[in-house]
Structure 1
């Protein structure tokens, strides 16, 4: 079952968000210690009005266990949603994010992190979360759904293409090269 997240889901969801981000979690936070990264994301998941808030997260739950998560939001609001996160990192970890760049843009509902527990992969959970994200975008009145996928992640690229996403352009983000993919809503 897919449902909106709540602050009570923090312990199960934050590892999924960090898993989806991979090396970007360390780059974004400017922190090497995995436990501190976990604490940072837990803090923000429980708060409102930020990029990684429970408010921007849908979950796939089965028999009381969270097996997947999708974090998404209006791309035009990225800078506003990211600001509390960056201010916190600057204050507590002396991080300087002046050249971070943006992964999304106005005019699209952005699927930021899509993650499935490794023990539950291959069962269609990711597809269900993506479809739920597309439906969420429709409900909010968006016409485009966007996401980034690393250029060398052929498995994810194929999944998104099979679901109707098309490569719009290539994007440099935090030192990596990504396909910016878009799904047009009818």
Structure 2
């Protein structure tokens, strides 16, 4: 079942976001182990008005619990949604970076897609993406975009099969990514 997230889902959301981000999450907290980033993402997943908020997340839940997430928001809102997160990690973790823009106005940005390791290969990611795209068809958005690491050919293939196309390459937090877009009709 796919449903909107609620604040009490924050603990499960945090673990799935970190699973998708891998080393990127560690850069934000300046730590070497992914478990160190869990409190940060739990905090923001439970709050409104930020890029990791439950407000921007759809969940896939089965009999075992929450096993997939997709998060996204209007690209025009990136700086507004990112600001509380950057301020918090600067104050609490000493983060001094200034991440490049992942998206831009005119694009609905899919920030994170994650499926629990033991549930991968069951079509959950595809269902989450298709559900989000269906929701976007009833909005003003004409494009959905995402970044996929050039080191993740499996994800790139999945997005291509779902209708996303590479439009350019972007640098983000020290990595090189394909910027892919889906035209919403």
SS at match of 1:70: strand
The 3 A distance-change label for structure 1 pair 27 and 136 is farther
**Aligned match of 1:18:** 18
Structure 2, gaps ≥5 residues long: none
**Aligned match of 1:136:** 135
**Aligned match of 1:177:** 176
Query: How far did residue 64 of structure 1 move?
Result: 5.7
In 1, the alpha carbon distance for the partners of 2:122 and 2:94 equals 41
Q: Give CA-to-partner distance per residue, 1:125-169, whole Å, 9 cap, x none.
A: 000001112123223320000001111211111110000000000
Q: Does 1:85 align with 2:85?
A: yes
**Aligned match of 2:37:** 37
Query: How far did residue 36 of structure 1 move?
Result: 3.2
In 1, the alpha carbon distance for the partners of 2:108 and 2:140 equals 9
Q: Does 1:146 align with 2:135?
A: no
TM-score when normalising by structure 1? 0.95
After superposition, the CA RMSD in angstroms is 1.3
Query: How far did residue 102 of structure 1 move?
Result: 1.2
In 1, the alpha carbon distance for the partners of 2:162 and 2:132 equals 12
Native 8 Å contact 1:111 1:133 kept in 2? no
SS at match of 2:179: strand
Native 8 Å contact 1:101 1:174 kept in 2? yes
**Aligned match of 1:161:** 160
In 2, the alpha carbon distance for the partners of 1:86 and 1:30 equals 13
Query: How far did residue 35 of structure 1 move?
Result: 3.3
Query: How far did residue 63 of structure 1 move?
Result: 2.0
Structure 1, gaps ≥5 residues long: none
Native 8 Å contact 2:100 2:173 kept in 1? yes
**Aligned match of 2:117:** 118
